[in-house]
Amino acid sequence: MSILSRLSSIFTPRASERDVMRPLYDALVARARAPFWYHGGVPDHIDGRFEMVTALLSLTLLRLEGQADLAQKSVWLTEIFVDDMDAQLRQIGIGDMVVGKHIGRMMAALGGRLGAYRDAAGAGAAMGEVLARNLVDGIAPTAAETAGAALARFADALAKSDSASILAGNLPEVAA
């Protein structure tokens, strides 16, 4: 290795190991922002969007938790979520003094949703109930049923998907 190569490697920042999970996170956010959810009754505002991101992230984390070799990648995916939420809070004007408190609440919300979606076990009606319970503004019962069925289809398709494909960000479609 030449001296220039060595110096270049010293001064060139290395990509974070967790950046391998960025395509998956970006794909999850894109799926969560699909018009299907919001035309179907999920409120299209900060809380509704947060709910959809955490729902799809939860289902994906539940899919990945079944494989011990993906445990570290699940952690990285969660860390990317935290970084994104931190940036979003700062962008909407939340000050440095309380960002940590908000992030703590968001992580508690994600943990609660992981448990609730695990308990729902892929049943559309139960997933709709989880979604309805967590939306601040609520959701019409028929919209909750529709969204819950779509979440169940997403979870089912994830279960049938190859892990490498999921990690690459190739997620199943969720629309009706």
Cβ–Cβ < 8 Å for 7, 31 = no
Residue 42 domain-assigned?
Answer: yes
Per the domain annotation, does 68 fall within a domain?
yes
Confidence of residue 15 (pLDDT cuts 50, 70, 90): low
**Is residue 53 assigned to a domain?**
yes
Do residues 31 and 171 lie in contact, with contact meaning Cβ atoms separated by under 8 Å? Answer: yes
Q: How much is the pTM?
A: 0.84
Nearest in space to 152 (alpha carbons), one of 75, 78, 86, 58:
58
Q: Does residue 35 carry a pLDDT above 60?
A: yes
Please report how many Cα atoms fall inside a 13 Å half-sphere around the Cα of residue 29, on the Cβ side: 13
- pLDDT at position 12 is 45
More confident residue, 94 or 55: 55
In a domain, 90, yes or no: yes
pLDDT band at 166 (very low <50, low <70, confident <90, very high): very high
Is residue 13 included in any domain, yes or no? no
pLDDT in tens, 113-134: 889 888 887 677 787 888 888 8
The pair of structure tokens assigned to 52 is 């959809």
Q: Is residue 107 in a domain?
A: yes
pLDDT band at 27 (very low <50, low <70, confident <90, very high): very high
Residue 14 lies in a domain: no
- Cα end-to-end distance, the chain, whole Å: 55
pLDDT at residue number 13? 45
Please determine, for residue 56, whether its predicted confidence score (pLDDT) is greater than 70. Answer: yes
- What distance lies between CA 75 and its chain's CA centroid? 12
Mean pLDDT for 136-145 is 78
Asked whether residue 91 carries a pLDDT value surpassing 50, the answer given is yes
Look at 24-28, 77-81, 93-97, 170-174 and tell me which has the smallest mean pLDDT: 93-97
Domain span at residue 89 reads 21-167
Domains contained in the chain, number = 1
Does any domain span residue 176?
no
Please tell me the distance from the alpha carbon of residue 134 to that of residue 149, in angstroms, as a whole number: 16
